[in-house]
Amino acid sequence: VLMLLSYDFGGWMPNSPTSLQLPPPTTKETATEKTMLNTFPSVNTTVHAMATLWLLSKESSDRVLLGHFPEEHFTDKFPRKKIMEFQEELQRLSAEIKTRNKDLDLPYTYLDPKVIENSVSI
């Protein structure tokens, strides 16, 4: 999830500048536009950071969704039943998230099981 949302929020440089050329202000309302522009990273540095975030936030071609298992390690009925129950619960949660997001201007989809990978992979 973390990598998928990296570009959405970090792709706009002021949200998460990759470097600062000057120390950040220590008191409120003392920064001017000029000091902010001098503090932010160069365009080149920003472009490299945005490209990295964009690349890391893309879905991998071999991703496996949460609750799905490409290899069947369990043949007994009990674990297979538990996997099926878990998948049904994930479907229910996904439907609930979809309902909650229906009327939102900015839907929050990052915790929807339909977009969460089964394991951590970059």
Q: In the chain, where are the structural domains located?
A: 1-58, 62-122
In the numeric block, the tokens 């043949």 are attached to 75
If one compares 112 and 118, the residue with the highest pLDDT of the two is 112
Do the Cβ atoms of 117 and 67 come closer than 8 Å?
no
Instruction: For the beta carbon of residue 106, count every other beta carbon within 10 angstroms.
Output: 6
pLDDT at 4: 64
Q: Can you read off the two tokens belonging to residue 64?
A: 């496996």
Percent of residues, the chain, with pLDDT higher than 70: 93
pTM metric for this prediction: 0.63
Contacts of 73 (CB under 8 A, 6+ apart): none
pLDDT reading at 102 higher than 90: yes
pLDDT reading at 19 higher than 90: no
CA gap 59, 53 in Å, rounded = 12
Percent of residues, the chain, with pLDDT higher than 90: 36
Mean pLDDT computed over 85-113: 94
Model confidence band, residue 119 (pLDDT cutoffs 50, 70, 90): confident
pLDDT at 70: 83
